[in-house]
Amino acid sequence: MSFPLRYAHLNVLVGHGDQRAALYALGTVSYPHRPARDKLRILQTLAHFAFAAEADFTIYRVSRAHPASEYVDQAAGLIDARYADPAAWREHLAGHQDHLAGLPSHVPEIYLAVSLQPARAAGPVAGLLAAGDRARRRLEDALGVGAQRPIAASEIEALLNAEERIHARVVNAFGVGAARRATTDELQWLLRRSACRGLGEPAHDPHWQPGAVLVEAPDGKVAYEPRTTDLLRFANAPILEEPRALVVDSELGRSFQAMLTLGALPEEALFPGRAELLYEPLEEGVDFPVDATVHVRWLGNRQAINQVRKRIVDATNVAADELRSEHGPLTHAAEENRALAQELEVYLQGQARPPLLQTTITLAVGAASRAELEARVEALRDRYQPTELYRPAGLQPRLFFDCLPRAGGGTVDDYTDHLTIEQLGALVPHGTHHVGHRHGVYTATITTGGQRPVYFDITDAPREGRPPSILLAGTLGSGKTIAAELLAINAAMRGSLVVDLLDHKPDHAFDRVPALDGQVNVIELSGDERYRGMLDPLAIAPPNLREDLAASYFMDLLPGASEGWETHIRRIIRAGLDVGETSSLRVIERLHADEHPEAQQIGQALAVWADSGLARLAFGDGAHTLDTTAQALVTTVRAPDLQLPDPTTARGDYDRLERVGVGTLKLLTAYAMRLITGDRTRHKVVLVDEAWFLLSSRDGQRLISRLNRLGRTENATLILATQQLGDIGEIENLIGTRFIFGQETEQEARRGLALLGLDPNDDAQVAAVRAYRKGRCLMRDLDDRIAEIQIEVADSDLLNILDTSPAAHTAQPA
């Protein structure tokens, strides 16, 4: 047992003797909730590499504490300093950072060390001499009389050439964006963190580089004498071996650690399912960090077949011996082993001629106390059942060193198992929970894996030309409104222009948020005569939408109208627009004066509506309308007189007031469209609460389509909060990020799952969605990653302001 490394050059690791390896960092993949076909592709990615590696390799799945201290700096750059106060923005982020610092969150990182074959000298004689030299050095090392030799410059050059070939194989298997060469900073972290398991993150030396002294080799050529202490200093913590545990005195304090190994893996296991032994137990089973190390000895097909045939012969002999014994066979294990080995032989003799992988899997657990360590070990063992986890008493130190970055693979062979490339892929060591953006504003936590934070950048979709709409769907009390307001508040704090439609209860709280004091313009509308014409569709709508919006609104007021009526209405509206008229009252006058009797009849009907309650908002002279040049960060529109139908009511069953209410929402949406046109360099947000009315009608869907087009061209994001999903099949491709909160009915839950791309017939998931409340939901981001999350309002005072539930404002007894 000794420190495994002598030297590191770039991503090339130099161990003892002829041990050499290249170290790579692999990307994780968001794994949960993916359909089975996608999970099979993820399995095939790792299996493809295992097939093509033609070398021993080690996979390290290690946990890094979430870097909460970096949050403010990474999110500070999201500000639009033209419209927001940088100091106030950083103060807002600092509150998030304080909350993040208290979360026990960690994220997995994946590293891959692939053995580099030592350079071969040219020619058969030289090759024999080189092989003899390597054998002699191994014998010297085994006897303890070997001396470390300088590394020839020519060997370094040969190793770099070999690394290029391995790098090509790694990138070809995992993809250009999912695999890269590891850095020396990452190597430093991998070495230092091993002593700190269960305590936190080690310190970092930004100036460190592994060094070597330039020397002259015996043959007179240039060579390098590694300064091994440059590496050893990061793993020289005192280690005390206790029965089945280690006590490590690290730079962060005393760490109690246990090394566990996986016993015999099940010969048959479902995939997706129990076969995912390095994903499900570590990501969903426990909420504390666990490191996993997978050492793989790559056996070529011919060598693998020889070993399997030997296994068949051994099993046959055991079975024969038992048959000849007096008691006969006590179990069928020998016969079963022979049958399995024969199946494996058939597999290896298949057309692809795959390799066999001699694999050892070690799990490392750390804690700040013995009691906590024992609790974690038991929790991990429970999660892995029926697979056995061993905790070997005499091998704890060796397994500890086997989990360090190595150039020669593991040294403990007591718990090896032979896996096919597909079985290795099914372990899914690179699967994880991830959703949202890498950089953004703290918005939620993932409910499994230790409260991992979810960051969200609301400006990303319109900036990148992707679907800019955000959908939040859920029943009353599910938390969708608070989530929508939280997204809008974060946007306003960074300098986005926010238009809030519609707060008719009213319960939106933008004007009560201290950080937005003086930055919120509240517009209250009613059916009072003084508000006449404030939402005249011919005045507030964008020019290219005026005819359609006005005709749609007028027809909504006249539910029994024939198709011919719409023809007359459009003809009259167009005639007025052609001469620059932007007044709905002027449309009524033109209808009265028209020679066609049906047009006169329409004018009489609309005249009644023009003087009826909330409908007065739509009929004006075109001069007295809402200001379409917003100056405040947030403009929120309240219409306390607005009456909306129940989301489940059919459109044909709306009463008079409900028809006016739905029509008024369309006008307000058009007003929002006017507000967001203008400066394309500024990001805008339109929040539409009670958006089911847009989702359930063709006119509403057309408005969403137009808002989406505006979002892409005008740098705007549309937030739709709704109780009912309605029929959104035609506009599904326009919606980017989706949040499905708790649903009241089974039908709505299935509809929500289908919208996420999940199986709507999964009864367990349907039941889970129906049970979601208080901000728990399923999120699907722009990259189609899905995770169960909990919306988090880091500031408790802000949460109290936003929470409109009766319980939140019930006086507590003294």
Contact 540, 671 (CB under 8 A): yes
Distance separating alpha carbons of residues 184 and 208, to the nearest angstrom: 8
Tokens of 115: 């053995």
Average per-residue pLDDT for the chain: 87
* Residue 780 pLDDT greater than 80, yes or no: yes
pTM for the whole structure: 0.84
Q: What's the confidence (pLDDT) of residue 709?
A: 78
Distance separating alpha carbons of residues 704 and 719, to the nearest angstrom: 10
Distance separating alpha carbons of residues 130 and 493, to the nearest angstrom: 67
Instruction: Name the phi and psi angles at 435, rounded to 5.
Output: -155, 155
Q: What's the confidence (pLDDT) of residue 125?
A: 47
Q: At residue 434, what is the residue type?
A: H
* Residue 728 pLDDT greater than 90, yes or no: no
Q: What's the confidence (pLDDT) of residue 143?
A: 55
Q: Is 415 left (phi over 0), alpha (psi -120 to 50) or beta?
A: alpha
Q: HSE-up of 751 (CA within 13 Å, CB side)? A: 17
Question: What is the Cα Rg of the chain in Å?
Answer: 34
Q: What is the pLDDT of residues 197-225, one digit of tens each?
A: 999 999 999 999 888 777 777 777 788 88
Distance separating alpha carbons of residues 224 and 214, to the nearest angstrom: 5
Q: pLDDT: is 794 or 734 the higher one? A: 794
Q: HSE-up of 150 (CA within 13 Å, CB side)? A: 17
Q: What's the confidence (pLDDT) of residue 146?
A: 54
* Residue 350 pLDDT greater than 90, yes or no: no
* Residue 112 pLDDT greater than 60, yes or no: yes
Q: pLDDT: is 708 or 752 the higher one? A: 752
Q: What is the pLDDT of residues 543-588, one digit of tens each?
A: 888 999 999 999 989 877 787 899 999 999 999 999 999 999 999 9
Q: What is the pLDDT of residues 511-542, one digit of tens each?
A: 999 999 999 999 888 889 999 999 999 999 88
What is the DSSP secondary-structure string of 585-651? HHHHHHHHH-SSHHHHHHHHHHHHHTTSGGGGGG-S-SSS---SS--SSEEEEE-TT-----TTS-G
Mean pLDDT of 300-329: 68
Beta bridge partners of 432: 30
Distance separating alpha carbons of residues 792 and 772, to the nearest angstrom: 14
Distance separating alpha carbons of residues 277 and 266, to the nearest angstrom: 10
